[in-house]
């Protein structure tokens, strides 16, 4: 009889750190120690605390191990699983280096205790490749309830009462979208899951698909019943091999159990799902471009109206919801729309998953009630800024979003508030920046991404974003003027007003938000020819402080271009005309005599 389960994160992040090799080695060692009938190794989805991966939790005691290595496996099996002694050196400690602090359980850590996991509630707790484990935690019970107890109209009303808004970008009410499609009385309709997660730093949808794929399938079947569709497609990035594999396994299992296919629950309702792989085009995250790609054509957006709910895939009414939106739906029907609506704010109900990245201690995946402040997310859950640096800004919404400065740290995060301060929710990427970040360079980074990913169909996006990028390149090289700042702002507003699709219309947001909140940094670049953060390479100067220089000659010896000269035991000098700003001199100076300006 199984008495112990060893849950090992099998998400992409931990897998890249050999978690699957750890699981294999763990199984081998368990058998070698004669524990094969008592201990089971489960490869789960993402636990969320990616900074500490690979993560392992041993149940029923709940011991939380972090940063496990393959070579730790024999000790873990012998000490913990065989002898019942916790391996203290591998147990997660909230305060690194403090050996006397009692180690909390997973749910009591600062990272987890204020989270409310709805979309992520099964991630890290079940085997995503075993449908029976999903069924054991009420999986497909919501679909059974819907098909045997409710009419399509009642299903749509529950969605409207819940207040669930789309988690993929603009936040359109989900129930309203379903209602629009349901009103079209035609024999063929479609349900599409948008799993084309392209924002830099975003991995929310990937983690749901890797950790709880059946929740998405169940929600799509519920949506199909509500609008009268019998076919669904999941458009997923080919760069997500683990997610694709687990999705296909889940679809096969659901068909085998009669939960997809013909006459589900003997209700007379039939629904099936197929996957379609995207080739990594950012624009295919836009719903009309996604539809075009599924149809086998070049992924380019179309003008709206008509909207997909009226004329979508193959010219038929289609609803498109992203992964996180769908992952909430089974829980809404099991626990009631009032339960879901009790979380969040007046116009933004429920929870939101964020991918925390950048200059933050606890990089990873978090799910919090909407209305939580940015300060709580970054400092209480995220653990704050590493190395004693100061918080400077947070980027939400990826290339379509904006940068939020420190003065808005106490703003409750919801759809309306983010829009009011010049950003947007987007899919949920949240990149944290400290005082070593150049905001002009951040805007340039996102514009460079947008230019590269533009489908090129409309002139404002194809040419307008490229002109913006050229201006930013000019400014970061020290050749900009104050007039350029006004021209950039004018061009940003033109692109927003005239680009064809939402991706083009929101592309200027990083520029507009940094111009608004960090204009002094732009002015330093163009007036003083200086990058305050010391990031823009062409504006850097490395200088030697004569009073601190001991004349050891190490800097001269380290310089790859011979830009440093001076006699032994005398202060050296950097020839700025030769210096390539590589920083080798400063890195090698043990006297702190070289500074970066």
Model pLDDT for residues 172-226, shown as the tens digit of each residue: 999 999 999 999 999 999 999 999 988 887 889 999 999 999 999 999 999 999 9
The number of angstroms, rounded, from the C-alpha of 423 to the middle of its chain's C-alpha atoms is: 16
- Contact partners, residue 520, CB within 8 Å, separation at least 6: none
Q: Which of 364, 387, 374, 381 is nearest to 436 (CA)?
A: 387
Among 54-63, 162-171, 328-337, 416-425, the range with the most confident prediction by mean pLDDT is 328-337
What's the rounded Cα separation, in Å, for the pair 483 and 488?
Answer: 9
What's the number of CA atoms in the CB half-sphere (13 Å) around residue 154?
9
Burial of 324 (0-12, 13-18, 19+ CB in 10 A): buried
DSSP secondary structure code for residue 92 in this structure = -
pLDDT-based confidence at residue 113 (cuts at 50, 70, 90): confident
- pLDDT value at residue 109: 76
DSSP 385: -
Domains of the chain plus CATH, in order, are 4-105 (3.40.30.10), 131-341 (3.40.50.11540), 351-434 (3.10.20.600), 439-526 (1.20.1440.230), 541-596 (3.30.70.20)
CA–CA separation, 322 and 197 (whole Å): 9
3-state secondary structure of 194: strand
What are the tens digits of pLDDT across the range 437-457?
Answer: 999 999 999 999 999 988 888
**Strands (DSSP E) found in 482-551:** 542-544
Question: Per DSSP, what are the bridge partners of residue 322?
Answer: 194
How far is 170 from 415, CA to CA, in rounded Å?
8
The pairing of strands 564-565 and 573-574 is: antiparallel
DSSP assignment string, 2-20: --EEEEEE-SHHHHTTTHH
**pLDDT for res 105:** 64
SS3 280: coil
Indicate whether 100 pLDDT > 50. no
Spatial distance between the Cα atoms of 389 and 392, rounded to a whole number of angstroms: 9
Which spans in 6-98 are helix H? 12-15, 19-32, 73-75
Separation between Cα atoms, residue 191 and residue 173, nearest integer Å = 16
Mean per-residue pLDDT, 57-83: 93
């Amino acid at each position: 009889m199984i008495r112990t389960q060893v849950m090992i994160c099998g998400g992409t992040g931990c897998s890249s750190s050999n978690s699957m090799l750890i699981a294999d080695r763990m199984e081998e060692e368990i058998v070698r120690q004669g524990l094969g009938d008592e201990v089971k190794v489960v490869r789960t989805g993402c636990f969320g605390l990616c900074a500490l991966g690979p993560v392992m939790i041993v149940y029923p005691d709940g011991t939380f191990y972090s940063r496990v290595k393959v070579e730790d496996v024999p000790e873990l099996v012998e000490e913990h699983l065989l002898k019942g002694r916790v391996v203290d050196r591998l147990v997660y400690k909230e305060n690194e280096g403090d050996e006397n602090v009692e180690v909390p359980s997973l749910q009591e850590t600062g990272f987890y205790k204020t989270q409310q996991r709805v979309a992520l509630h099964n991630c890290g707790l079940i085997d995503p490749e075993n449908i029976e484990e999903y069924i054991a935690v009420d999986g497909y019970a919501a679909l059974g309830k819907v098909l045997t107890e409710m009419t399509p109209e009642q299903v749509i009303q529950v969605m409207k009462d819940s207040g669930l808004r789309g988690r993929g970008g603009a936040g359109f009410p989900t129930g309203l979208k379903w209602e629009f499609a349901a009103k079209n009385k035609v024999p063929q309709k479609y349900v599409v899951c948008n799993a084309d997660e392209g924002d830099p730093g975003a991995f929310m949808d990937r983690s749901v698909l890797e950790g709880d794929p059946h929740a998405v399938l169940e929600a799509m079947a519920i949506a199909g019943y509500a609008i009268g569709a019998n076919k669904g497609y999941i458009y997923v990035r080919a760069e997500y091999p683990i997610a694709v594999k687990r999705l296909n396994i889940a679809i096969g299992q659901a068909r085998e159990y009669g939960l997809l296919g013909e006459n589900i629950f003997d209700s007379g309702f039939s629904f099936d799902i197929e996957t379609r792989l995207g080739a990594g085009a950012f624009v295919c995250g836009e719903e009309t471009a996604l539809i075009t790609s599924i149809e086998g054509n070049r992924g380019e957006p179309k003008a709206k109206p008509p909207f997909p709910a009226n004329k979508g895939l193959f010219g038929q009414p289609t609803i498109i919801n992203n992964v996180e939106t769908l992952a909430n739906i089974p829980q809404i029907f099991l626990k009631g729309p009032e339960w879901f609506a009790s979380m969040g704010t007046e116009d933004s109900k429920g929870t939101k998953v964020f991918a925390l990245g950048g200059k933050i201690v606890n990089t990873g995946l978090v799910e919090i009630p909407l209305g939580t402040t940015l300060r709580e997310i970054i400092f209480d859950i995220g653990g704050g800024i590493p190395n004693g640096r100061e918080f400077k800004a947070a980027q939400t919404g990826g290339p379509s979003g904006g940068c939020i400065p420190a003065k808005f740290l106490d703003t409750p995060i919801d759809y309306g508030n983010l829009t009011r301060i010049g950003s947007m929710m987007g899919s949920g990427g949240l990149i944290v920046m400290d005082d070593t970040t150049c905001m002009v360079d951040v805007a340039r980074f996102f514009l460079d991404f947008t230019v590269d990913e533009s489908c090129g169909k409309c002139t404002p996006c194809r040419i307008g974003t490229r002109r913006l990028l050229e201006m930013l390149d000019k400014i970061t090289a020290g050749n900009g003027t104050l007039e350029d700042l006004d021209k950039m702002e004018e061009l940003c507003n033109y692109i927003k007003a005239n680009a064809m699709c939402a991706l083009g219309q929101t592309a200027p947001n990083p520029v507009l938000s940094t111009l608004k909140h960090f204009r002094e940094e732009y002015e330093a670049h163009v007036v003083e020819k200086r990058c305050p953060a010391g990031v823009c390479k062409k504006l850097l100067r490395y200088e030697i402080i004569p009073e601190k220089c001991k004349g050891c000659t190490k800097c001269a010896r380290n310089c790859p271009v011979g830009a440093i000269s001076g006699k032994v035991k005398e202060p050296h000098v950097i020839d700025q005309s030769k210096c390539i700003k590589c920083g080798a001199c400063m890195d090698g100076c043990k006297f702190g005599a070289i500074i970066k300006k």
